Chain A
Amino acid sequence: MKSDKPKKSHKAALSRRSFLKGAALTSAGAMAAVASLSHLKPAHADAPMPAGAVERLGPGPAPIELKINGEVKRLSVEPRVTLLRALREHLGMTGTKLVCDRGACGACTVLMDGRTVTSCMVLAVDARGREIVTIEGLGNPARMHPVQAAFVVADAMQCGFCTPGMVMSIAAALKRNPKAGEDEIRQSVAGNICRCGTYPHVFAAALNTARGFGAGKGNA
């Protein structure tokens, strides 16, 4: 089956990807420019709230700090801005995908204090003080996370929109139980929908990682 498929040209894949990424960054840049109009004072961390104090944010933009992939990021967002939109449109981190925007598909999965969450259902202001890890923080093409590498080896993607979310869910499950079996793997991606139907390869990639092979081969 696998060998029947025409091999995707690495170059073609890259140019399509860089086109999409370029387009996304351009629109993110435009949004950032709009946001900066009302962002006149320098961003600062909110002081820890003294007892009895009341915080009121918005509806206009408020300066906040988010800790993403170990780095403190300063941005200015309206309280209605979700963590997902903050990542994609304010910070240009487009690895986390926007698909259903209702917490139903899992494409926007990130880790918050080590647990998977749909970032489309988290307000960015509520992510303050939390450790956020996105797909960009898990690994990069030169230094892939074992789950990412296993996805490459198992050909566990087609259109790729669900892939970052799948990888985050599986990475979180394997961190909790590095020897997770197929049932546990299936449970871990129960909230990640793949419309291409790549599930068998996704499970294979996860199980290969759990069994300790497949890791690192994607770098070769």
Chain B
Amino acid sequence: MNRFEVVTPADVEHASAMIAKPNCAAIAGGVDVLDLQKLGVTRTATLVNLKPLAAMNGIDEKPGGDLRLGALVKLHEVAEHPVIRKRFSAISDAARQAATPQIRNLGTVGGNLLQRPRCWYFRNPLTNCLKKGGDRCFSVGGLNRYHAIFGGGPSFIVHPSNLAPALVAFGASAHIVGPGGVRTVELEKFFALPSVDPHRENDLKAGEIITEIIVPAPARGARSIYIEAREKQSFDWPLVSVAAVIVANGKTVSQARIVMGAVAPIPWRVPDAERTLAGMAPSEENARAAAKIAIKNAAPLPDNGYKVKIAEVLVRRAILGAASEAATASDQT
């Protein structure tokens, strides 16, 4: 690992000004930042330590029912928090299935959303791939079993965050502090396809820092679920994950939001599938039909066609899983 200095800023604004400078980057939990430094994929000279910034920490339930997650909140806190488990269970499920116990004790919400892709060409310091300023994506014509089946091109990475699909399914927004001031952006619009810019996975500008995530209060009768398929059960990155938030009134679905992870360079929402469910009973048959629609635009690479089938099955299971809970909740309320 290259030598670097660690600077502790007084506040978020100071941190933002510092990381806007070349060869500076923010560090919080440090899991991905140190991994990339050790690999030599990055050789940042100054790391700006966000950990002591208390304003970026904490989990709060707002009076209106919104959830505020400080960007420095650790994944284990998200996984264990009683309010999140009860009202936003897809988010706690996603956090609980991320990485390992040891990493969940270090990794933060902000870091999970901003971690760089797991693509083996991107992480190999010997390849100058498209994402690192090179002229080609080596997954094209290379080994691509874990790569994108939706939204690929010119880069075919998949977004590695577990929390992102769950947060997008809940319509969460990020508060961002930067040199230009403060802004709030819906996470669905925050993540950016490689066709926009292959060098980054989101809309974070130089010097900008995510300070907190706001998850709006779910509608009455809403239930959520996050499930994933992996090669290794103890811990692994998902081959495909699905987050679903389903609102049911009586026996019909009034609203559904379905977001897949690990299938595209961004969390991949499937509005067509969501629309087919609206006004319908959350039956096995309707879930099966919606799942077919969810995968209809899949464009797999030579090695990853298997992910299309997994995605279809997981979408169906997620709909049925969330809907059965939503129906129960709706009966009770």
Contact = CB atoms under 8 A, between A and B. Distances in A.
Nearest to A119: B102
Interface residues of B, number: 33
B100 A106 contact: yes
- Residue among B14, B37, B101 with max Cβ neighbours from chain A (10 Å): B101
Contacts of A52: 10-11
Contacts of A112: 105
A56 B51 contact: no
Contacts of B101: 116, 169, 187-188, 190-191
A80 interface: yes
Contacts of B34: 82, 121, 123
A190 B234 contact: yes
B10 A58 contact: no
Interface string A145-186: 000000000000000000000000100000000000000001
B235 A79 contact: no
A79 B38 contact: no
Interface string A107-131: 0010010011110011101100000
Interface string B11-42: 10010000000000000001100110110000
A109 B4 CA distance: 24
A118 B4 CA distance: 21
A8 B47 CA distance: 48
Contacts of A80: 1-4, 37
Contacts of A191: 99-103, 234-235
Given A103-B102, A109-B102, A112-B105, A54 B8 contact: yes
B76 A56 contact: no
Interface centre among B37, B76, B106 (most CB of A within 10 A): B106
Contact of A115 (B10, B11, B52, B105): B105
A55 to B, nearest CB: 4
B5 interface: yes
Contacts of B102: 103, 106, 109, 116-118, 169, 191
A109 B103 CA distance: 10
A53 B51 CA distance: 15
B7 interface: yes
A59 interface: yes
Given A190-B100, A190-B101, A126 B7 contact: no
Nearest to B6: A79
B35 A126 contact: no
Given A115-B105, A191-B99, A191-B103, A57 B35 contact: no
Nearest to A188: B101
Contacts of B235: 190-191
A78 interface: yes
B49 interface: yes
Given A80-B1, A106-B100, A121-B35, A55 B105 contact: no
Contacts of B234: 186, 189-191
B7 A53 contact: no
A60 B234 CA distance: 39
A142 interface: no
B171 interface: no
A101 interface: yes
A133 B9 CA distance: 28
Nearest to A191: B100
Contact of A56 (B2, B7, B30, B103): B7
A116 B52 CA distance: 20
Contacts of A188: 101
Contacts of A187: 101
A186 B234 CA distance: 8
A124 to B, nearest CB: 10
Interface string A190-213: 110000000000000000000000
A78 B106 CA distance: 21
B248 to A, nearest CB: 30
Interface of B: 1-11, 14, 30-31, 34-35, 37-38, 45, 47, 49, 51-52, 76, 99-103, 105-106, 234-235
24 contacts: A49-B52, A52-B11, A56-B5, A56-B6, A57-B5, A57-B6, A58-B4, A59-B5, A79-B4, A79-B5, A103-B99, A103-B100, A103-B106, A106-B100, A106-B102, A116-B101, A118-B100, A118-B106, A121-B30, A121-B34, A122-B30, A126-B49, A126-B51, A169-B101
Given A54-B7, A104-B100, A122-B30, 17 more contacts: A54-B8, A55-B8, A56-B5, A59-B5, A78-B3, A79-B6, A106-B102, A116-B101, A116-B102, A116-B105, A117-B102, A118-B106, A123-B6, A123-B30, A126-B30, A126-B51, A191-B102
Shortest 10 CB-CB distances between A and B: which pairs? Answer: A191-B100, A59-B3, A58-B5, A55-B8, A79-B6, A115-B105, A118-B102, A190-B234, A52-B10, A191-B102
Interface of A: 49, 51-60, 78-80, 82, 101-104, 106, 109, 112, 115-118, 121-123, 125-126, 169, 186-191
